[in-house]
Each structure stands twice: as structure tokens, then as C-alpha cells.
Amino acid sequence: MRILVVEDELHLSEALSHILKKNNYTVDVANDGETGLDNALSGIYDVIVLDIMLPKTDGITVLKTLRSEGFDTPVILLTAKNEIPDKVLGLDSGADDYLAKPFNTEELLARIRALGRRRGEIVANTNTISYGDITLNTSSLKLTAGASEITLTLKESELLEHLMLHKEMVCSKEQIIEKLWGFDSEAESNHVEVYISFLRKKLAFVHSKVSINTVRGVGYTLSE
């Protein structure tokens, strides 16, 4: 999962980024509402953690703009305010959840997992997702097929997860780069090709019937 944290308190944003990365999430951080909105409109995020009180553009405006543009990315609002009217305003503006500062990081992680499950992207508390004869644990990075198991790198796990979650679609190299490396990354198409090759070898290692197909000129898709 890729998470966007929009928080202007530098110590808090850095701490959140560290905690989320430690839990195997890919994280981007924006320290003002304008930058946060630009990032959010890329559509590459699975969850957005959004502070309300932000410089340049406040969190409620960011949220309303995101929803008006048709993006349904789950949003957790963070704020020092804990009054009922503020909660109602945030939820009515399109937030999926609300967490008042100070908060427990374990609670934030639990809420992120809940939003992931609600979207159908993570199907169990163990952070596992399945397709065909393979199961991927996005927490331990273990790929299993029958009795065989192998550990993936974080980037391999993120790529396979993306392909599994979009199993009915052809995923373009551009989409994969934006999702795994970020829309402002200098990663190129050969980065994707390299990791596709790594994944094919590991699928073969666990004797899976699942294959990664190349749709020439378009991208990649999974098949059983």
C-alpha cells in the first residue's frame, strides 16, 4: 500500500513516515495543503492521512477538492480539534475516518488496515492477498504456492500486490512507476522490466501456475 501523509508539523510527519515505512508501507509526505492536493490528485495512493490545519490550503478544502474531482481514495483526517462540529464537518466533506491529536500510532495503523480491508485491497488481519494458487503476505513479504514459500523484497512485494489487486486490468509501466516509485521519481521503464523479471523467477521457484504476461506496447497482467 502507498500512503500519502499531509502534515505540516515536521516532527510528526517524519515520525509517521518512519512508523509507516517500518510497517512495510510506501510513504510520501507533503507539508502543506497545496502540495498535498497535487500529490493526491495523482491517484496513486491507497490511503491519505490528512491534517486539517495546513498552510496554503487547509485540509477540508483539499478533501472537498479531491472528492469533487471524483477521487474516492480513503482519507483519515488528523486534527488537534476534538469538537463534534469539526468531526461532522470533516466526515460530511468526504472523510472516511477521523483521529484527534494526540493519538496512539497503533490505533492509526489499525484504522489504515481497516480502510484497506473496506476497499477490498487487504483481505485479512494478516495482510494477505490471494490470486490463483499464490498467497502474498504484504507484512512478512512471504509468497507461497502450495507447500512452497519464498521471501520477496519490498519492491517485489509491492509490484506483485499491485498486479494482484488489478488482476482484471493491464497495468502500464507508467502506472507501475507512479505507484511504486512516485509520480516525481526518476525511475524508468527498465526498472519495471527488471522487477518483472525477478518476480517471474520467484513465481517459477514456488512452482506457481500464475504467470505475468506482457501485453506488448501496453503493460503487464496476471493470468492463471
Whether 122 has a pLDDT exceeding 70, the answer reads no
Share of the chain above pLDDT 70, in %: 92
Which residue did the predictor score with more confidence, 186 or 50? 50
The owner of cell 512471504 is 142
**Any idea what the Cα angle at residue 61 is, between residues 63 and 53, rounded to 5°?**
95
Q: What is the mean pLDDT of residues 59-67?
A: 92
pLDDT at 115: 83
When the pLDDT of each residue in the chain is averaged and rounded to a whole number, the result is: 86
pLDDT of the residue at 82: 65
- pLDDT for 30 equals 93
What whole-number distance in Å separates Cα of residue 16 and Cα of residue 21? Answer: 8
The model's pTM? 0.61
Confidence of residue 205 (pLDDT cuts 50, 70, 90): very high
* pLDDT at residue 145 tops 90: yes
Please determine, for residue 183, whether its predicted confidence score (pLDDT) is greater than 70: no
Q: Where does the pLDDT of residue 81 fall: very low under 50, low under 70, confident under 90, or very high at 90 and above?
A: low
Distance CA 166, CA 21 (A): 23
Gap between the Cα atoms of 130 and 143, Å rounded: 10
Indicate if the pLDDT at residue 124 is higher than 70: no
Q: What's the rounded Cα separation, in Å, for the pair 23 and 17? A: 10
Give me the pLDDT at residue 120, please. Answer: 54
Distances (CA, A) of 16 to 19, 48, 49, 80, 133: 5, 12, 10, 16, 35
Asked if pLDDT for residue 125 goes beyond 60, the answer is no
Averaged pLDDT for residues 71-100: 83
Largest CA distance in the chain: 56
Distance CA 215, CA 32 (A): 39
pLDDT number for residue 188: 75
CA atoms within 13 A on the CB side of 122: 22
